[in-house]
Structure 1
């Protein structure tokens, strides 16, 4: 995946830039820090952009800040309803969702947090009206009317509330105004999509204004659950937001915002990966028990020995023979993906000019909860599941935050200074009820039978042997297959086969995080054209963790007692270990029933930025910057991470094994920005070096969280072998393990008032170093990650181009106007799996969205037709190891959305 982009992809990139420039998007490139705002000036043809990226209002052309600012008008034209759709307008951004929308992932410059583990904070932080959302997936819901969105690229280590190691998405909702107004919109689309939106704004006297907005959205799902006669990945959600704005004087304003949103939706289904997605079928050396040669049959072919077992246990062959992008799914009858999400909160922002000094205070409290049932193996065989209810993969956040900033000037305005503080208290509770299904035992016993002798597998029998056990117990041959250990092994297989509807009866994880920070950000005007910006932040983070486990899987300790003594016998250890592992997968064991754990971690970090900028002419800015970013460490909220099932010892549980360290990044950037009323161009080159990079990956059995670093000395390939004990590094030789470097180019053109173009191109080589190790002590890399050294990160395409055109011609003098809007995104190929296994690679693809209509009808109405994914391009968000179906034997995939289209009617007064 680290090889160069294809000629075809480069050609498409050129075509997308030349033919479909990216419309009316106020973008800019530079270093890092929050916030930008775009305002249109009626006297000019181009946008006048004001930013607060350095904590004070400045012209964007004067600020060395890496930020893409998208106006509310642009968001409306592009049909953006949640942050996933920002992919079309920001080439350095990629937002995707996987097995649970509560943990959707945003990536900037190829860096982001992977997976569905709420214990990991987001590399890309999301703020709404200056208030931190606990995880980026919390913003995968209706946004309502938006004033603007800013996407900040690179580490945010000084301003912006919470630290973020990769970037920040800051959303600003439309505020109240001192004029009476209202609006309404109705949309109907395919998949029986209905979206209703409306709001009203009223002044309540001379000093108070109020605004209320609401959105309701309902749509059928993109997957057809054949067995349960329903659809999955549907939409059924609403949002209500109310605001008050109090402005008693020119020097004081206070804005109060309260919102509530609810989702009752089924999410998230997956299909089997077939050759139409992975045509080369290259398998991962040394990792596969069933390797399909290049050009051979799909992994779901009956030549794969696990597939006949699945069919015999009830798997509909149609699910195994259809294409990857056929959206018929065959879920276990009675299982469901139904879930519920609530998100609500209140915030207040105070801005007060005290005369020479300005005070800003943002106070907020939010609650977020999500439960999601699932047929967790994504097959028709009942292997593992989460039943609906309060414990169905639940996560709840309760967050209080307070930010204070003081800013002013000194030395005859030669110094613009800013100091501030931030405090956040976050309480996280995760509840889980993951259980083995009714057929797990037989399925697992069949995996053992296949490992012993495929001819003995008999899925009609509970232990998958039935009468064939005679070939093992000595009845036929007179010699027991495993010597004196044969009775114990056969008894353990019988026990394994009996596992049915066992596992968690309610695991609870609690984590309280207290974060406080002090920061300063100062701009020194050395001359009229040269500025030096220095920022520094001190952060203290404390996390208190406790967990309680409840489990009724008594087969695990029974088989551990039967076979534990065989783990020291070389000839029998693999078989004994395999039976114990399958009996105790994910450390699901009654040995944990009633067990509680607790731990605490505390960390301190200094971060900051330094920028030197020069404006040789009023239209040109040159700059160079250094910034250091940070993302807090924490706890892996998954009991499977306590140890491998075979090595697990309930008497010596090491809660410290759940911890992972903080992630830090050193970033360097140089750039140039040219800006006039009609034309803007920016170029930036960057390099980001990540230490203790937090990687979360699913290996087919459990989630593995590991801090990735590299060794400065050659490990001789020991980081690529199957051993967990080879490949150690001396602590003094540890160095950053992930490097992101590249170039970003963005341009905008506004030749006349009703025609606008913008375009963007990002080249980002975001890759793992060679000679990888597992943490900053020099411990070896986990063998499941052996494909990582020297390759690109997952979901990190090297080349991305975005472009669009917006044309709003006047159709009648002073009256009707037309609307023609198209945007496009070309994405280079990349691997979608965090372990980089072959067969998870997504080819390059090209997505076009469009909107055509007539606006300003009678000065109040508009009608528009729209389409998303115009060419109905099939592509995946994430491919992953099908859970429990023998690691690396079959893959499944979460698909991206197909083509959607519809019509929208709007009115306003």
Structure 2
């Protein structure tokens, strides 16, 4: 499958007004560049260091001070500071949905890229499992609303979340932050930075975030929905000449949590069946907000996210050349009691996902004194995804299915009756005896996808007057996806073709 996409856009910026919402008050604590802008708010949404008022993009900026004051731990917390952003935690720690201005898509299918792109220090994070970890030493977070392909190369149709961390410094310094809260919540972050030589500086940061579960699994007699994650991040900054800067970044983070519970909203007729199978309450049928659940095994989330990037900036005088190369891997292993009852209906619902991503961006930006400035760039994206999903019947599913069939047929049918009837119609009454809805039967699904894409993008700014700027942008993208599937079902009943002529008497 190949997709070609051409986008053109134009914006006009009037200096008397600004289409941006700013939450930063003072950038002195976290300067964005070597240029002194005083107390103006500096952003790099247009790939240049500009004051917020001169940026012709709808952008919200959250500074390091705002992040500290609002106790923003990860991107899920960011929605408390950005009104147009909504972040939803879905059924596992690896599934987080980002929505800007009401637009976004789910994160349940790893084959679908999110419409809200997340960039960390210019590197695209293609899936939510690679986006939600804690980050030490964040300088600012920019949330850009609307399509951004003319500036970022990788098309993001709903918007972009751009996270910028602090560069290594040539003076020794560091910080440590620790907090303790209810449910034995313990968070610690720390970083250290300093010079290795007069042209090389380093920084090293780490974080640890844990909390006991705030929900209770009554059947298993344990707390659930806990938090347990940590990460490390190191940087090297090389400045061999005044014109050349090289920044290397490597990081590793890990999540190992029990998440996520589901409240029972409607107590339908199946609750009586699951209660009988469980030998007691199988759900909290009367209060979906009680944070009391009944499962027969704990859900698990083990996520590893790691990678490295290199950014090269070369000052050509009135132009600058930037190259960003990155390689990342995500490993996500999840399993969940997906019937959300203490009856053993779904014995396993697991997803093991491996994502390898390589990206390369190259762009040239001008800084002329005249009325015209431009940015032109190229972007290459290569990603490989492998997923193995399994869903198997538990020990109670056969009895559960039998109860449903009896209720639907008024007692005329049951699982044994179905097995015998269908076998008889095929000429062998014993063919299906004891095979429908057996524990351990189900589906094995293997998926693979290779995605390659490249794009050419750019913008041109024309200063019509001192107070009016016209911006033209364009993007050409060619996107190619190849995918494979291998699905095996061992569920005997689902493999029967009831439209076959032999089953005509049964259908009638």
1:442 and 1:497 in contact (8 A); partners too: no
In 2: Cα distance, 1:233 partner to 1:256 partner: 36
Ranges in structure 2 where 5+ consecutive residues have no aligned partner: 1-16, 30-37
Q: 2:486 aligns with which of 548, 552, 576?
A: 548
Q: 2:291 aligns with which of 321, 324, 327?
A: 327
Q: Quote the residue 2:441 is aligned against.
A: 502
Is 1:344 aligned to residue 306 of structure 2? yes
Is 1:40 aligned to residue 30 of structure 2? no
Q: Quote the residue 2:237 is aligned against.
A: 245
User: 1:470-869 counterparts in 2 under 5 A?
Assistant: 488=425, 497-504=436-443, 506-557=444-495, 560-561=496-497, 564-565=500-501, 572=507
1:432 and 1:508 in contact (8 A); partners too: yes
Is 1:440 aligned to residue 440 of structure 2? no
Q: 1:401 aligns with which of 335, 359, 373?
A: 359
Q: CA deviation at 1:537?
A: 0.5
Q: Quote the residue 1:373 is aligned against.
A: 335
Q: 1:215 aligns with which of 184, 196, 207?
A: 207
Q: CA deviation at 1:241?
A: 0.5
Q: CA deviation at 1:52?
A: 2.3
1:341 and 1:370 in contact (8 A); partners too: yes
SS of the residue 1:433 aligns to: strand
Q: Quote the residue 1:107 is aligned against.
A: 99
In 2: Cα distance, 1:409 partner to 1:73 partner: 30
Q: Quote the residue 1:68 is aligned against.
A: 60
CA 1:456–1:219: 2 relative to 1, 3 Å: farther
1:438 and 1:499 in contact (8 A); partners too: yes
In 2: Cα distance, 1:309 partner to 1:443 partner: 7
Q: CA deviation at 1:41?
A: 5.2
User: 1:219-368 counterparts in 2 under 5 A?
Assistant: 219-273=211-265, 299-300=266-267, 304-314=268-278, 316-317=280-281, 319-332=283-296, 335-368=297-330
In 2: Cα distance, 1:496 partner to 1:452 partner: 20
SS of the residue 1:112 aligns to: coil
Q: Quote the residue 2:164 is aligned against.
A: 172
Q: CA deviation at 1:81?
A: 1.0
SS of the residue 2:490 aligns to: coil
Q: CA deviation at 1:422?
A: 0.3
2:322 and 2:362 in contact (8 A); partners too: yes
In 2: Cα distance, 1:498 partner to 1:514 partner: 41
Q: Quote the residue 1:82 is aligned against.
A: 74
User: 1:87-102 counterparts in 2 under 5 A?
Assistant: 87-102=79-94
1:219 and 1:235 in contact (8 A); partners too: yes
Q: CA deviation at 1:497?
A: 4.7
Residues 406-428 of structure 1 show CA distances to partners (whole Å, capped at 9, x for unaligned) of 12256x61210111100011111
2:216 and 2:224 in contact (8 A); partners too: yes
Q: Quote the residue 1:581 is aligned against.
A: none
1:103 and 1:118 in contact (8 A); partners too: no
Q: 2:137 aligns with which of 140, 145, 152?
A: 145
Q: 1:157 aligns with which of 149, 160, 166?
A: 149
Q: Quote the residue 2:19 is aligned against.
A: 29
CA 1:171–1:491: 2 relative to 1, 3 Å: farther
In 1: Cα distance, 2:423 partner to 2:391 partner: 32
Q: Quote the residue 1:646 is aligned against.
A: none
SS of the residue 1:369 aligns to: strand
Is 1:421 aligned to residue 385 of structure 2? no
1:36 and 1:53 in contact (8 A); partners too: no
In 1: Cα distance, 2:172 partner to 2:52 partner: 31
CA 1:375–1:258: 2 relative to 1, 3 Å: same
Q: CA deviation at 1:456?
A: 6.0
Task: Count residues in correspondence.
Answer: 482
2:220 and 2:295 in contact (8 A); partners too: yes
SS of the residue 1:105 aligns to: strand
Residues 92-118 of structure 1 show CA distances to partners (whole Å, capped at 9, x for unaligned) of 110011112212100011111125111
Q: CA deviation at 1:378?
A: 1.0
1:126 and 1:168 in contact (8 A); partners too: yes
1:109 and 1:153 in contact (8 A); partners too: yes
SS of the residue 1:158 aligns to: helix
Q: CA deviation at 1:122?
A: 0.3
2:212 and 2:223 in contact (8 A); partners too: yes
In 2: Cα distance, 1:485 partner to 1:350 partner: 69
Q: CA deviation at 1:315?
A: 6.2
2:150 and 2:458 in contact (8 A); partners too: yes
Residues 846-877 of structure 1 show CA distances to partners (whole Å, capped at 9, x for unaligned) of xxxxxxxxxxxxxxxxxxxxxxxxxxxxxxxx
Q: CA deviation at 1:450?
A: 1.7
Q: CA deviation at 1:249?
A: 2.9
CA 1:316–1:121: 2 relative to 1, 3 Å: farther
SS of the residue 1:142 aligns to: coil
In 1: Cα distance, 2:287 partner to 2:435 partner: 34
2:129 and 2:332 in contact (8 A); partners too: no
CA 1:492–1:93: 2 relative to 1, 3 Å: farther
Q: CA deviation at 1:223?
A: 2.1
CA 1:444–1:496: 2 relative to 1, 3 Å: farther
Q: CA deviation at 1:28?
A: 6.4
Is 1:136 aligned to residue 136 of structure 2? no
Ranges in structure 1 where 5+ consecutive residues have no aligned partner: 1-26, 274-298, 458-462, 474-483, 574-909
Q: Quote the residue 1:796 is aligned against.
A: none
Q: TM-score, normalised by structure 2?
A: 0.87
Residues 764-820 of structure 1 show CA distances to partners (whole Å, capped at 9, x for unaligned) of xxxxxxxxxxxxxxxxxxxxxxxxxxxxxxxxxxxxxxxxxxxxxxxxxxxxxxxxx
1:188 and 1:194 in contact (8 A); partners too: yes
SS of the residue 1:118 aligns to: coil
Residues 658-716 of structure 1 show CA distances to partners (whole Å, capped at 9, x for unaligned) of xxxxxxxxxxxxxxxxxxxxxxxxxxxxxxxxxxxxxxxxxxxxxxxxxxxxxxxxxxx
